[in-house]
Structure 1
Amino acid sequence: MVDLNAALRPADAGSLQPTAARPPARLQIADVSLQYGGKTPTLAIDNVSLEVANNEFCVIVGPSGCGKSSLLYLVAGLTDVTSGTIRVDGRPVHEPGSDRGMVFQGYTLFPWLTVRSNVEFGPRRKGLPKAEYRAIADHFLEEVGLTAFADSYPAALSGGMKQRVAIARALANDPSALLMDEPFGALDSQTRTVMQKLLLRVWEHTQKTVLFVTHDIDEAILLGDRVVVMTARPGKIKAEVPVPFARPRSISLVLEPEFIALKKRILGLLHDEIDETH
């Protein structure tokens, strides 16, 4: 049995104090705010601070419109912060870079390239020799189970297969952090379960630092080492809930009483935020 007393006790919102068990942060988000302009300026994210350790799988959940995806875009360098700083491996983020791999909910593959060429794209742009970037692509295609489809084009693939290619392409760049914005949100429940199992296996092999956004609480607990709960807009960090379950994890974990108890706690935090918006 897992003792959930500590797991169900959220950390102070925005706390940057490291615990003894947590290694140094790979990703640092410090006092970050995002305001959209226009005639009526909108504060989307308000003074968010978060650290994600090396090899940690950190999941963000929150009500719709709270700024989850916007925060991920800030880390990716696709949007500029209004205030605050973001650092990866101690280096400030000002623009997109190969140290951050991004997987979107939509399928962002190059349709004119084969599956293998899509995965090779990043290493090839780095100027690696052909034999090296080909070996990297083949390795990650094997990781995601698509070796047999290496010469196919994206149009011939299912949605789940396209996301496998997107994950392989992001990992082929050997990023310091993998950023995932609801990557399985458009998939049917059966395919989503398959993809969750695949991502668990690939993450256990690669041990990448992951910042993952989802609306699915089961998915958040199943995948994450920690679940960060955000408030309604303007988004702040309301709670950080550690996930106490040992790895490797099985999909059947969702049926365990301890899992259900943790899910109820997170849902309670979210329902408070949803109620406050009505």
Structure 2
Amino acid sequence: MGDIELPEVDVDYDEATFMSQLSIEQQENIAAVEADGQAIADAMAARGLQEQTIKAQLIYMSYFDGNRLNDFTPYVEHFAQDDEQLISSINADYSLDIDYDEFMRTYILVMNSTINEYMFTESGSKNSADLAAWCRNAYVSGWGYADNSFGERTGDERIRCADNVGLIMGYVRYDIENKTFTDDIVDMYYTEQGGIDTMPDIQGMGVFNGTGFGVYVGGGQVVFSSAIGGCVQQQALEYGNWTSWCTFDAVSYPQEVWDRVNELRSEEENEGE
């Protein structure tokens, strides 16, 4: 189920040591679980739903005990809908009785304990699509707000938190390969490109309201972290008093964005003549 953060221990206790203490039957059961988890990940990627891989694995591992599937293709199709419809259709098709609210509480807890490795499309670069996925994941995972935080687990409750700029900088600082946060980049540089009504419909665009930033995640929605509310939030673009859109220097954008920037600059030059 991904690379969920483990508690710190004072002894040299690794996976090999753990496995050596299990019976042959227990080892075989774990191997079967790992195989099913990988099969789900492969099927979700093939369907283009890789961001929801952990959700699919969690439901399967939690509720399909004694009912292993041989073909995961029909199963992953359920994840191309919203969460309530997802739980309802899985209950109907597999004769289960999953309580939606109970599952979502568990899912948020699991997601908050890790960084979803399946959300990244280009692990070798910092790009706008993955920035949007990062912010969506922070919202879904119930990240809190804390000053000078970038996505690390903080406080007594060990909840992932980020302040307003930290939500964006957390993505820039996150080393996907090593699954750690670095402090190589200290400052966030950005460029306001135009009024909010001129923003291209590209996921990962920055939005600005004069005091704080948000990230456009598609579907008319913006994700941002705010001390007001004390958490990472999502709201419709039209409700955030966003006045302009911007690009972040550490993030790469598709050519369509720069075409729009050039178009706006040409319009400004023509108006000035």
The bucket for the TM-score relative to the shorter chain is: under 0.3
Higher helix share: 2
Q: Considering only CA atoms, is the larger Rg found in Structure 1 or Structure 2?
A: 2
